[in-house]
Amino acid sequence: MPLDNQSDNRSSATQAKEIDVLVVGAGFAGLYLLHRLSKLGLAVRAFEAGGGVGGTWYWNRYPGARCDVESMQYSFGFSEELQQNWQWSELFSAQPEILSYANHVADRFDLRRFITLNARVNTAIFDEASARWRVHSSTGETVVACYVVMATGCLSTGRVPDFPGIETFEGRTFHTGEWPHEPVDFAGRRVAVIGTGSSAIQAIPVIAEQAAHVTVFQRTPNYSIPSRNGPMTCEYETEWKTEYAVRRETARHTRNGILYDLNDKSALDDTPEQRERTYAERWQKGGVRFMAAYNDLALNQASNDTAADFVRARIREIVKDWAVAELLCPKDYPIGTKRICVDTNFFAAFNRPNVGLVDVRNEAIQAITPAGVRQGGRDYAVDDIVFATGFDAMTGALTRVDICGRNGQILAAKWEAGPRTYLGLMTAGFPNLFMITGPGSPSVLSNMIVSIEQHVDWIADCLAEMRKRDLGCIEPTAEAEEAWVAHVNEVAHRTLYPKAASWYMGANIPGKPRVFLPYIGGVGAYRQKCDDVAANGYEGFVMAPAVTMAK
Ligand SMILES: Cc1cc2nc3c(=O)[nH]c(=O)nc-3n(C[C@H](O)[C@H](O)[C@H](O)COP(=O)(O)OP(=O)(O)OC[C@H]3O[C@@H](n4cnc5c(N)ncnc54)[C@H](O)[C@@H]3O)c2cc1C
C-alpha cells in the first residue's frame, strides 16, 4: 500500500511510496530545486505550507512590499529564455509582479505537478537502518525520501512579540509577513504600525496615504536610502538583456551577488569634500549601491562614520520636525550592520500631519488594550495594528520542524547555543539533509536569488555525482563543521557587523543566542570554497554507499 494513502488529486506524484528527494518549501529555492532535480531524473516532491508558490512573495502582501535589489538582478539567471522573455515593469518590482513571476516559473518549467500546497512539514525523522527520512506533513501524509532539502526560507517565520493583552485588542491586527489576500482598506482608520525595519519602511508611506492617522512605534531607527524607483525603460532593459549572460556571471563572483560600481578605495583616502560628492551622487542614484561608495564601510569605524553622518544629515534635511528627525536618526550602530533599507518617501512621511512617531526604546510598549496601545503611561487609541516585527530569521523555519537525526538528536537541541553547519549546506549528525541559504552561508547578506541558485546547483551536482558513484549517504564531519563555524565567526568579527544588535545576530528574538548567522566572507569567495570542496572529492563530507531499503 502506498504510504500516501490519502487520496489527493493536487499532485500526480502523491502516490509515490518512496521518493529520492523531498523539498520543503516552494519559494524561489524550492522551485529551482524541483527544476534541477527533476531534470536529473530524480523522483522529487515538495510540501509547501502556503496555498500557493512564491514563498516570501506569497506571504508578504503588505502595502508597499517590493524588492530592494533591482529586478533585473533579483530574478533567476539559470535560463536564458526566461530572462530574455520576462519583462519587469519597474526598476524595483512590487510584490504582485514578483509573485506573478514565481507563478510563471512554476508553469513554464511544469513544476506544479511535484508540489503539494497547504502541507506544512511538522516532523522529519532519519531512520539509520534504511538511511531514509520519514517526513510527516500537516495533511497527515508521510513521505519516505533518501534526501530532504529544507528550502524553508530565511525570513518565513514571522514574529509577534508577546505584548501583554494582545488577545484583548478589539480591532484588526496584521503581520506584514502574513498579510491577507484580499485588499485591506485603511481609509478613515487609526492605524498603529509597530516596528521600523525594512517592511515597515515600505509600508508606512503607503498606509499613511489612506489612513486617518498612523502612529509608528519605533524601537530602533534604521538607515534607509531612497530607492529612486521608477518605470523600467526600454534602454535599461535592453542594456541588461544584451549583456545578461556576462553580467550574471560577474555578479556570481562579487561580494554580495549584486552588480554595482564598487569604489575600490577607503573612505579615508578622499577629502571630506570628495566624500560628500561621492555620497551625494550615490544618494541621488539611490538603492543599496550607496554602501559600495567605499570599500571599507563595513570594516573601518572611522570610514563608516562618514557614511552614517551623511545619511543622518539627509534625514535631518527631509524631516521638518527637529525632535522627530533626531528620533529617526540611527546613532548607536554602524551603517550597514543592520540590513540597509531602501525606501520611497519613508522619512518624508513623517512630515504628514497624520503620521506620529513614538519612541519605545526607553519605555517599551506596556500592553495592548482592547482599544489600542499603551506606552509611557499613555493610551493610543487605534482601529488597526500592523505588526512589522520581523522574523525569527535564518533558523526559525528549521528549528520549528521536529527534525530528528542520528541517535535521536533533535536539530533545535543541537543548535541551542547557535546554529552549527558545514558551509551552511548541512549539519553533522543529520545525513542527507540539506539546507538552502542556511546559517553559515552568505544568504541574507546577498542577492538571495544568486545564493539560492548557487546552493541548488551545488546540491544537484553533488547528488548527480553520488548517483554516478552509487553512493546514497552524505554527511559533514564534526571536524569540518567545527572549522567552518570558527571561520564564519572569525570573519564576522573582522567586520563592524557584530556591533549592531541585529537579526543577523539573532538579537530580535528574546533568548536566541547571539551568534552572527550568515557568512560574511562574500558570495564569490564562498562559491569558490564550495567548488573547491567538491573538486577535492567533497572534502569535509563522509559519503557512503546507498542502502537498499527493505520492501
Ligand atoms: C518583504 C521582503 C522583501 C525581500 N526583498 C528581498 C530583495 O529585494 N532581495 C533579496 O535578495 N532578498 C529579499 N528578501 C529575502 C527573500 O526571502 C528571498 O529573496 C527569497 O524570496 C527567499 O526564497 P526561499 O525560497 O529561499 O524562501 P521563501 O521565499 O521564504 O520560501 C520558503 C517557503 O517555505 C515554506 N515553508 C517554511 N517552512 C515550511 C514547512 N515546515 N513545511 C512546508 N513549507 C514550509 C514557506 O511557507 C515558504 O513559502 C526579502 C524578504 C522579505 C520578507
65 lines ligand 1 (CB under 6 A): yes
Ligand 1 centroid to 11 CA: how many Å? 23
The label of the residue with cell 520549528 reads: 400
Q: Which residues contact 81 (CB under 8 A, 6 or more apart)?
A: none
Nearest to 501 by CA among 490, 516, 487, 489: 516
Q: Do the Cβ atoms of 442 and 451 come closer than 8 Å?
A: yes
pLDDT of residue 355: 98
Q: Which of 74, 252, 448 to mutate to test the pocket of ligand 1 (most atoms within 8 A of CB)?
A: 448
The pLDDT, as a whole number, for residue 549 is 45
Nearest-5° angle of CA 423, CA 425, CA 430? 115
Going 323 to 349 to 447 to 310, the CA torsion angle's sign is: negative
Where do the DSSP E strands lie in 169-276?
Answer: 172-175, 190-194, 213-218, 224-226
Amino acid 62 reads Y
**What is the spatial distance between Cα 44 and Cα 34, in angstroms, rounded to a whole number?**
7
Strands (E), 349-393: 355-359, 365-369, 372-375, 378-381, 384-387
Specify the amino acid at residue 65: A
Query: How far apart are the C-alpha atoms of 91 and 62, rounded to whole Å?
Result: 19
- In eight-state DSSP terms, residue 481 is H
- Reduced to 3 states (helix: H, G, I; strand: E, B; else coil), residue 418 is coil
Task: Give percent of the chain above pLDDT 90.
Answer: 90
pLDDT at 191: 98
Say if CB 92 and CB 226 are below 8 A apart.
no
User: Rounded to the nearest whole angstrom, what is the distance from the C-alpha of residue 56 to the centroid of ligand 1?
Assistant: 4
CA of 292 to the centre of ligand 1 (A): 25
Residue 468, SS3?
Answer: helix
By most ligand atoms within 8 Å of CB, the mutation choice from 152, 391, 433, 454 for ligand 1 is: 152
For ligand 1, is residue 68 a contact (CB within 6 Å)?
yes
CA-to-CA distance for 35 and 114, rounded, in angstroms? 10
The grid cell for 267 is 573612505
Rounded-to-integer distance, Cα 191 and Cα 372, Å: 9
pLDDT of residue 548: 55
Question: What is the Å distance from ligand 1's center to 62 Cα?
Answer: 15
Task: Please indicate whether residue 452, judged by its CB atom, sits closer than 6 Å to ligand 1.
Answer: yes
> CB atoms < 10 A from the CB of 39, how many?
12
Ligand 1 atom closest to the CA of 391, numbered from 1: 53
> What is each CA distance from 326 to 314, 376, 397, in whole angstroms?
12, 19, 36
Closest C-alpha to 496, from 278, 319, 302: 302
DSSP H helical segments within 211-253, as ranges? Answer: 234-242, 244-251
Cα–Cα distance list, 50 to 149, 325, 347 (Å): 17, 40, 34
CB 403 within 8 A of CB 430: yes
pTM: 0.95
Residue 13 pLDDT: 41
Q: Is 55 in the pocket of ligand 1 (CB under 6 A)?
A: yes
Is any atom of ligand 1 closer than 6 Å to the C-beta of 199?
A: yes
DSSP state of 138: T
Ligand 1 neighbour 441 (Cβ under 6 A): no
Report helix, strand or coil for 2: coil
> Which atom in ligand 1 lies closest to the alpha carbon of residue 448?
11
Q: Within a 10 A sphere around the Cβ of 490, how many other Cβ atoms? A: 10
Angstrom distance (rounded) from CA 322 to CA 316: 7
CA of 390 to the centre of ligand 1 (A): 13
Residue 479 CA to ligand 1 center (angstroms) comes to: 31
CA of 296 to the centre of ligand 1 (A): 30
Per-residue model confidence (pLDDT) at position 14: 45
SS3 label, residue 121: strand
Residue bearing the CA closest to ligand 1, atom 30: 153
The pLDDT value recorded for residue 233 is 97
Q: For strands 132-137 and 378-381, give the pairing.
A: unpaired
pLDDT value at position 15? Answer: 46
Compute the distance between CA of residue 447 and CA of residue 137 in angstroms, rounded to an integer: 30
Residue spans of the chain under pLDDT 50 = 1-16, 549-551
Question: Would you say the CB of residue 94 lies under 6 angstroms from ligand 1?
Answer: no
